[in-house]
């Protein structure tokens, strides 16, 4: 199988995992990463990818650059990861979220439609979305593809806006799109602002492990490689215009997640005295904090034959071990050095 993948946000957490996945499983395919290299973009995360792949440093809001990348690279797959992705940042500064997630997605759709109409062929645009667009669940029930959108944070509202644009491009123009809505990811290359890397790295450096509110908020955790495989499956076998929920069927409270990380670290890097759990600190809650997310992934299982391969236990061990084994990657982020790598690319 040979494809030409234009991957927006390919230097971020999930995007870089997707690029490595394609690099390793489709030696005939080519990737063009299109990434602005915001604080969340890290070229170190792409180290080791084959030299046949390329990186363009650019903003998805830059119409000319997007048009040029499409015209020159001629992708048949556009996988759209690029976004501002952190809920806490969206609360403090929502403007970038509206710009990148709404206006950026519009720009991509607009230019990709022009490109598609000029070239036709088996082109597909995959919108990588989130379960957060569905809002918050009570103690029971699951998000299905039919659940109405009820986003609660500036982040999820901006992702919902972008999903609606994608939907409209299908219904109005028959522009070939597929949307996936995934639950919380964890795994290698996740920026240490999200719960799991924050806890691993704070634990190791003897800092408090901050748990918002009462720690009883529930997320449905999925190992990032399983998400990448789900996206790939949707690209290959998904029906145009359809949405597919992707989830791990792994509901855990934040306190359970933090306890499990501490238990693994207690085994892998025992402290001289006590447990890493002693560092747990309850802090002020996130405003508007969604209580529970849980995905019903039966559609993608039944229609496309996808299901997660990693259990929470195995995925978690792999993740903690990855952070323990990649001290350089972590060190470059903590020192800010990773942001210097871009200078070689003229950004
Ligand atoms: P991330 O924040 O780690 O990476 C985002 C990437 O996008 C970075 O490389 C950044 O430089 C790039 N980017 C940001 N603004 C850009 C712009 N204007 N132009 C070009 N590039 C830009 O995010 P992630 O966690 O890898 O998430 C990727 C996608 O998956 C997002 O769309 C997110 O909404 C979605 N998603 C994430 C999760 C999760 O648990 N992390 C779950 C479901 C869906
Ligand atoms: O220090 C923390 N303490 C804490 O208790 C952090 C960073 C988070 N939390 C809580 C908030 C959430 O209930 O942990 C949970 C997970 O938080 P995040 O890692 O910030 O993820 P979340 O807000 O659930 O959103 C993530 O999953 C869906 C991604 O960031 C989104 O991009 C994705 O769409």
347 vs 339: CA distance, rounded Å: 10
The answer as to whether 19 is a domain residue is yes
Q: Report whether residue 102 contacts ligand 1, using a CB cutoff of 6 Å.
A: no
Q: What is the largest CA-CA distance in the chain?
A: 66
Which burial class, exposed, middle or buried, applies to 167 when counting CB atoms under 10 A from its CB (0-12, 13-18, 19+)? middle
Of the ligands numbered here, which is closest to the C-alpha atom of 291? 2
| Residue 201: Cβ-neighbour burial (10 angstroms; 0-12, 13-18, 19+) | middle
What is the whole-number distance in angstroms between the Cα of residue 254 and the centre of ligand 2?
9
pLDDT along the chain (347 residues), means of 10: 94 98 97 98 97 97 98 98 98 98 98 96 98 97 98 98 98 98 98 98 97 98 98 98 96 98 98 97 98 98 98 96 97 92 52
- 315: in domain: no
**Ligand 1 atom 28, closest CA:** 81
Domain for residue 283, yes or no? no
Look at residue 342 in the predicted model and tell me its pLDDT: 65
Residue partners of 94: CB distance under 8 A and separation at least 6: 154, 158
User: CA distances (Å), 156 to each of 85, 130, 187, 316, in order?
Assistant: 9, 8, 22, 26
CA 88 to centroid of ligand 2, rounded, Å: 8
pTM comes to 0.98
Residue 333 to residue 243: CA distance in whole angstroms: 35
81 is a domain residue: yes
State if residue 85 touches ligand 2 by the CB under 6 angstroms criterion: yes
pLDDT at 347: 38
CB 281 within 8 A of CB 211: yes
Residue in 39, 85, 86, 87 to alter for ligand 2 test, most ligand atoms within 8 A of Cβ = 87
- Which tokens belong to 110? 């607009």
Distances (CA, A) of 104 to 190, 282, 318: 22, 36, 34
Best of 10, 14, 104, 228 for a ligand 1 pocket test (most atoms within 8 Å of beta carbon):
14
Indicate which CATH number applies to the domain containing 46: 3.40.50.720
Average pLDDT, the chain: 96
Instruction: Give me the torsion for CA of 290, 88, 214, 188, rounded to 10°.
Output: 90
Residue 123 lies in a domain: yes
The closest ligand to the CA of 97 turns out to be: 1
Q: Is residue 144 part of a domain?
A: yes
Query: Can you list the alpha helix ranges (DSSP code H) found in the chain?
Result: 13-25, 63-73, 87-92, 95-97, 105-119, 154-173, 195-204, 224-237, 254-268, 298-304, 312-325, 327-335
Exposure class string for 93-130: b at 16+ Cβ within 10 A, else e:
ebeebbebbbbbbbbbbbbbbebbeeeeeebbbbbbbb
> Exposed, middle or buried, 149 (CB in 10 Å: 0-12/13-18/19+)?
middle
Q: Considering the domain boundaries, does residue 262 fall inside one?
A: no
- Which distant-in-sequence residues (6+ apart) come within 8 Å of 135 by Cβ? 149, 150, 151, 152, 156, 290
CA of 184 to the centre of ligand 2 (A): 8
Q: Count of domains in the chain?
A: 1
Q: What residue numbers bound the domain in which 82 lies? A: 4-186+222-249+292-309+336-342
Q: Counting ligands in written order, which one lies closest to the CA of residue 193? A: 2
The pLDDT value given to residue 343: 55
Tell me, yes or no, whether 259 lies in a domain.
Answer: no
The Cα 218–Cα 216 span in angstroms is 6
CB 89 within 8 A of CB 39: no
* Block residue for tokens 């993948």: 5
């Amino acid at each position: 199988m040979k494809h030409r993948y234009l991957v927006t946000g390919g230097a971020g957490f999930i995007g870089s995992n997707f690029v490595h996945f394609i690099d390793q499983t489709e030696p005939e395919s080519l990737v063009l990463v299109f990434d602005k290299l915001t604080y969340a973009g890290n070229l170190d995360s792409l180290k080791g990818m084959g030299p046949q792949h390329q990186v363009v440093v650019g903003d998805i809001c830059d119409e000319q650059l997007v048009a040029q990348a499409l015209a020159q690279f001629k992708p048949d797959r556009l996988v759209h990861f690029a976004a501002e992705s952190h809920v806490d940042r969206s609360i403090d500064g929502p403007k970038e979220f509206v710009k990148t997630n709404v206006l950026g997605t519009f720009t991509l759709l607009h230019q990709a439609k022009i490109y598609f109409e000029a070239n036709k062929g088996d082109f597909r645009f995959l919108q990588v979305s989130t379960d957060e667009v569905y809002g918050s669940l009570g103690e029971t029930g699951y998000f299905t593809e039919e659940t109405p959108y009820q986003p609660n944070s500036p982040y999820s509202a901006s992702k919902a806006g972008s999903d609606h644009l994608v939907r409209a491009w299908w219904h109005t123009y028959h522009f070939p799109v597929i949307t996936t809505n995934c639950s919380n990811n964890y795994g290698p290359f996740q920026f240490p602002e999200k719960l799991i890397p924050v806890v691993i790295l704070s634990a190791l450096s003897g800092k408090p492990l901050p748990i918002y509110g009462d720690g009883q908020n529930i997320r449905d955790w999925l190992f990032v490689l399983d998400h990448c495989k789900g996206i790939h499956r949707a690209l290959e076998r998904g029906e145009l215009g359809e949405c597919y929920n992707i989830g791990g069927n792994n509901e855990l409270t934040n306190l359970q997640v933090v306890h499990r990380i501490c238990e693994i670290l207690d085994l892998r890097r025992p402290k001289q005295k006590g447990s890493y759990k002693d560092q747990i600190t309850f802090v002020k809650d996130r405003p508007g904090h969604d209580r529970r997310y849980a995905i019903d992934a039966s559609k993608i299982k039944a229609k496309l034959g996808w299901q997660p391969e990693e259990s929470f236990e195995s995925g978690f061990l792999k993740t903690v071990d990855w952070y323990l084994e990649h001290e350089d990657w972590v060190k470059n982020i903590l020192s800010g050095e990773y942001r210097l790598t871009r200078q070689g690319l003229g950004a």
